[in-house]
Structure 1
């Protein structure tokens, strides 16, 4: 039977999944496409980032012009001057900075310094929240690396261009330097107020100590200043500085650098600050400092800017005690009201070290260094060079005799004449020997000597002794008529004191750069230019200058040790150049404009020399001049220059280069010679002992 048709509509079947999928396919395709695009974009961004980082990694950072204070030090290592042009900075390695200061700086400036890659994201977020709450900039988030990038390469202008460059340089710093290197650069770069850049200069300025010696309390005080030197400098506002210090100590305690008890104790500590400016060296020995600069720049080739701003350490030969003694002797040697000038140069003849230098009485009013000026006639102080020439040629000895009387000399094949005069026209009117001529500074004897030995030979000797001044081969050369500097005179006399050996004068021992690398080290040249025996005989002769009748006898009572030297006086200049075994010193006094000297003014050089020598060598026991081989001493008769008999009333023990002593004795008193055999040796020894005893007990 056929089933009847139903009146109801047939029921729809469910939509096949394929149909449903097809409906979603456009969306899926769009999502896939978007994901692909996003992936591509991400990949592109990553590639760009890596490429940019690679680019930055191989880009050279801009040259940072960081000036550093150069220092000049004396022989004992004390700073005698600092050089800087606006920025007082002395860079030191991180290991030379107090751990307290490092911790204080990290605590207040960049707590996550060792964890971030140049940018502190957490710090940025924290600062943003704080600033949003207060609706103003209350907290910054610049890391130490960012601050270093800004200080080294950029200005502090607030522009997007500067911020982008700062970010780039920050990344480059992190890629090119270790964290400790960045921290070290930062601590040597930041400004601590009052002209002090870097921790070392700041430590010296505020506390008069090195950065490595800072205490916890001092470190917390310094760490707070860079945020605003005007507001947090203890010299400007002690309350602000103290509040800032305690904030830093509290932060250090909260971060575990120190305990709360240590923070409280440091906060209560009373700090001893240097007087403003007291931590910086005003400098001493200004004429010497100028000389050192000229040697470094002109002779050693050190760049002028490097000398002033390169953080150099210039180690010099200056002796602080000797320099103070020199300045004091000059100051006391000339009345304050006088316009007379003075110069002093002192050298250790054994090493060539320049121990003291005074170029004038007042550096502030006149920087002209008279110690180096080849503008002054040395007068009779030049005569020892003449007499050394005569001794070394072998034609003259200490008992060679000339008559002291007014004399007219002819030269240049008889075409010219020269008529010298003794000081105040005083003449012995008799024959005198070399010792008497040196002691009394007889000009007639000196000119007779130069006529005998030849002026050219005297000039040659002067050159060997280190004198480069313009000298002419004329008879007046014997009387020191050609200008020579005190510096050259001191150097030349150093040969006499050093057994005939010349040592090149040295002012700079060593120069180191800011990293401690040696740029220059002195190697003084030693050369034997005179026979030791001849140098000693000349020294023995010049000791008479300070004995009775000598031109330096007026200061004999001030000298408590064996001293040799020579005075020199012209109408406008007065000198005393003398020495002990340890120290040779040239003193000049006069006027800058060739004004004539009064007798009183002409006598001021000798007391300056004597006072300086005794004070500079106060800690050094007196010593006789060492006697070299090839020297003999015999008794002579001054009247004849021959060997003296035992009964000779005026016999004198004289020193000779062995082989040049007299061979004939005078016999005028019917005696045998007193200069041979055992008796002579005994008397000679007794004479030396008497001389030593006199020096010690005088």
Structure 2
């Protein structure tokens, strides 16, 4: 009995505690409901902010001057009522972007939970769950910065939109606001831009195509990437099948439909440096991870490396060089080898006709313009020197343990007999080049090419010496910058800094880092040899009179591609000329790359005094007998001053002439350089 009494006494305090907790929870819940009610009442009565979606992001040049905006010309916006929009487009948009649009209050809780599970499983943000209302709130009133304060504001504005407008009104605003690429805001502008018709006339295939574009207006634009656009269209059609809007048969028929797009010339509004702008866009979105909608109308300021004077010179050189030709295309990219800054970029002859950027096309064979990379490998390894000789004659080469053969030919079947590396580079001799790669090893050439910035696949075969592995002009300019920069590699850069509309820094490029790829002496010796290309007997000699400064380079010609890649101490520039459809180049067309290079280089550097290439330690020059490649004596009828890496210069004297009198000790390269151009004459006169 006592135990029962004691047990009852102990139970009363527990009941009282439970009752207190219950009252506390009820009170907190009631207070929460009151607070929520007050918040909802406030949001209902409060005005939404003024839409800020008309703030253009600006591209600025190296000096901080505004160049262009990230929309094609003025904003193209035409608002229409919901009944004036094709039902197919509405269904495609809802099936893809927000299937529960008419069933939620602005937030899709199930979708958010599903996206959270997917993202947790992959440990990355691979799936989002923004409703149309959330997207509209973000586009109309907010920047795209990823902060908690921005997310809270987005939630508030989403709730306000849902309270103040009907679902049809929200959908109508969304379809008139969303960005469809190429300056088109809203579905009416997009329909007229892409298909030349009003939005109400869009069929299923056209609607599925356009409904897929807003996810990535550049990446999924049929004008920029047709394959990506078709893949996205297929995804939209599959979503419509899942939601029951169409059948599998209807989806297949729509996907197979051949769409008729407006010509790009009709719709394009060309701005300054359009190809450079498009490249910067891809860097900002794809590499730096900035949302494309923020780039389009977030008021960003993108500080770049663009040199407007160099860009104007590049555009003028390309336009002048292609005068009188039809369909012939060209590309030019110019990089400061010392910092990696991209100074000028022209991706084609006419941006209004084609936005395809040939600077990054990796389907073009560089031909003989690739040879300097191989010769640099030979010099750096010490296996060959500038005086090394090979016999230029028809030769059958055996490789792959003698299981395969290769028989290259010289252009026009012209063979020069015994020649050294300088003569081979100047005349672009193919036999010498293949002998070189057989001596050095193709794998070693591939490895050096990688270090110099060639990212395209390189085949380790003898024909690599003749540039049979396709590369892009961008890669070639990057690789030649290493030679100009005394063997040091610097990663190319286009974007220096990005700030938001309030001036806050979103990104700042790190200080450039230089990597020593080959020793400076090897790069300098090759530079001296490459200067011969612009001298008597060189393949670039016809434009030498147009260049009034030290310059080194290499031409390259295939049946479909013409190149000149060259450099000064300030600029490394690649010029490509060819046809998009693989049409064979005529003789006159194959000679257009060199004049474009020469005209651009002189104009871009017209305010920069000519500079000689700096001479590093470890370089010597000696007089050699051209016939034997040995040290010249006083009795040699001809002698020339040649450069070598210290320790690789000839040590034997020529015995072919006279009594073999021994000359003086080898001279350091600073004392003398062979006169092959006006600046060499000037240097020799000054030094003497």
TM-score range, shorter chain: 0.5 to 0.7
Distance (Å, rounded) in 2 between the aligned partners of 1:528 and 1:152: 50
Q: TM-score, normalised by structure 2?
A: 0.63
1:473 corresponding residue in structure 2: 460
Residues 21-420 of structure 1 mapped to structure 2, 5 A cutoff: 56=42, 66-67=52-53, 68-84=55-71, 283-420=271-408
Shift of 1:697: 12
Shift of 1:692: 3.3
Contact 2:313 2:600 (C-alpha < 8 Å) held by counterparts:
yes
Distance (Å, rounded) in 2 between the aligned partners of 1:496 and 1:321: 24
Contact 1:643 1:675 (C-alpha < 8 Å) held by counterparts:
no
1:518 corresponding residue in structure 2: 505
Q: Return closer, same or farther for 1:686/1:496 CA change in 2, 3 Å cut-off.
A: closer
Q: TM-score, normalised by structure 1?
A: 0.62
Shift of 1:675: 4.9
Shift of 1:511: 0.7
1:546 corresponding residue in structure 2: 534
Shift of 1:525: 3.0
1:492 aligned to which of 470, 474, 479: 479
Distance (Å, rounded) in 2 between the aligned partners of 1:554 and 1:690: 13
2:421 corresponding residue in structure 1: 434
Structure 2 regions of 5+ residues with no counterpart? 1-33, 77-138, 142-155, 161-182, 184-268
Is 1:570 matched up with 2:567? no
2:612 corresponding residue in structure 1: 624
Q: Return closer, same or farther for 1:59/1:306 CA change in 2, 3 Å cut-off.
A: same
Shift of 1:673: 3.8
Distance (Å, rounded) in 1 between the aligned partners of 2:427 and 2:273: 35
Q: Return closer, same or farther for 1:296/1:553 CA change in 2, 3 Å cut-off.
A: same
Q: Deviations over 1:492-520 (max 9, x none)?
A: 00000001111100111111111111111
1:643 aligned to which of 631, 641, 666: 631
2:494 corresponding residue in structure 1: 507
Distance (Å, rounded) in 2 between the aligned partners of 1:85 and 1:654: 54
Q: Return closer, same or farther for 1:695/1:545 CA change in 2, 3 Å cut-off.
A: farther
Contact 2:634 2:662 (C-alpha < 8 Å) held by counterparts:
yes
Distance (Å, rounded) in 2 between the aligned partners of 1:641 and 1:86: 62
Shift of 1:412: 1.1
1:694 corresponding residue in structure 2: 681
1:658 corresponding residue in structure 2: 646
2:522 aligned to which of 512, 525, 534: 534
Q: Return closer, same or farther for 1:628/1:58 CA change in 2, 3 Å cut-off.
A: farther
Q: Return closer, same or farther for 1:686/1:365 CA change in 2, 3 Å cut-off.
A: closer
1:6 corresponding residue in structure 2: none
2:164 corresponding residue in structure 1: none
Is 1:672 matched up with 2:658? no
Q: Return closer, same or farther for 1:620/1:87 CA change in 2, 3 Å cut-off.
A: closer
Q: Return closer, same or farther for 1:297/1:681 CA change in 2, 3 Å cut-off.
A: closer
Q: Deviations over 1:659-690 (max 9, x none)?
A: 1101111132234344516xx46994485899
Larger Rg: 1
Shift of 1:83: 2.9
Shift of 1:87: 8.6
Distance (Å, rounded) in 2 between the aligned partners of 1:576 and 1:553: 12
2:545 corresponding residue in structure 1: 557
| Equivalent residue pairs, number | 464
Contact 1:359 1:370 (C-alpha < 8 Å) held by counterparts:
yes
Q: Return closer, same or farther for 1:690/1:445 CA change in 2, 3 Å cut-off.
A: closer
1:16 corresponding residue in structure 2: none
In structure 2, the residue corresponding to 1:371 is in which secondary structure? helix
Q: Return closer, same or farther for 1:463/1:690 CA change in 2, 3 Å cut-off.
A: closer
Distance (Å, rounded) in 2 between the aligned partners of 1:397 and 1:335: 42
Q: Return closer, same or farther for 1:600/1:286 CA change in 2, 3 Å cut-off.
A: same
1:461 aligned to which of 444, 448, 467: 448
Contact 2:642 2:674 (C-alpha < 8 Å) held by counterparts:
no
Shift of 1:84: 5.0
Distance (Å, rounded) in 2 between the aligned partners of 1:454 and 1:653: 29
Shift of 1:52: 6.3
Aligned CA RMSD, in angstroms, stands at 3.2
Contact 1:635 1:674 (C-alpha < 8 Å) held by counterparts:
no
Q: Return closer, same or farther for 1:515/1:641 CA change in 2, 3 Å cut-off.
A: same
In structure 1, the residue corresponding to 2:331 is in which secondary structure? strand
Q: Return closer, same or farther for 1:58/1:628 CA change in 2, 3 Å cut-off.
A: farther
Contact 1:81 1:282 (C-alpha < 8 Å) held by counterparts:
no
In structure 2, the residue corresponding to 1:541 is in which secondary structure? helix
Distance (Å, rounded) in 2 between the aligned partners of 1:627 and 1:355: 25
Q: Return closer, same or farther for 1:152/1:540 CA change in 2, 3 Å cut-off.
A: closer
Moved more, 612-621 or 658-667: 658-667
Moved more, 363-372 or 72-81: 72-81
Distance (Å, rounded) in 2 between the aligned partners of 1:294 and 1:650: 56
Shift of 1:79: 1.5
Shift of 1:453: 0.9
Moved more, 59-68 or 504-513: 59-68
Shift of 1:409: 0.6
1:443 aligned to which of 430, 443, 466: 430
Q: Deviations over 1:140-169 (max 9, x none)?
A: xxxxxxxxxxx988xxxxxxxxxxxxxx99
Q: Return closer, same or farther for 1:88/1:387 CA change in 2, 3 Å cut-off.
A: same
Contact 2:70 2:277 (C-alpha < 8 Å) held by counterparts:
no
Shift of 1:58: 13
Q: Deviations over 1:42-87 (max 9, x none)?
A: xxxxxx9xx9699849999868752221000111222111135999
Distance (Å, rounded) in 2 between the aligned partners of 1:501 and 1:308: 37
Structure 1 regions of 5+ residues with no counterpart? 1-47, 90-150, 154-167, 173-194, 196-280
Q: Return closer, same or farther for 1:370/1:471 CA change in 2, 3 Å cut-off.
A: same
Q: Deviations over 1:174-202 (max 9, x none)?
A: xxxxxxxxxxxxxxxxxxxxx9xxxxxxx
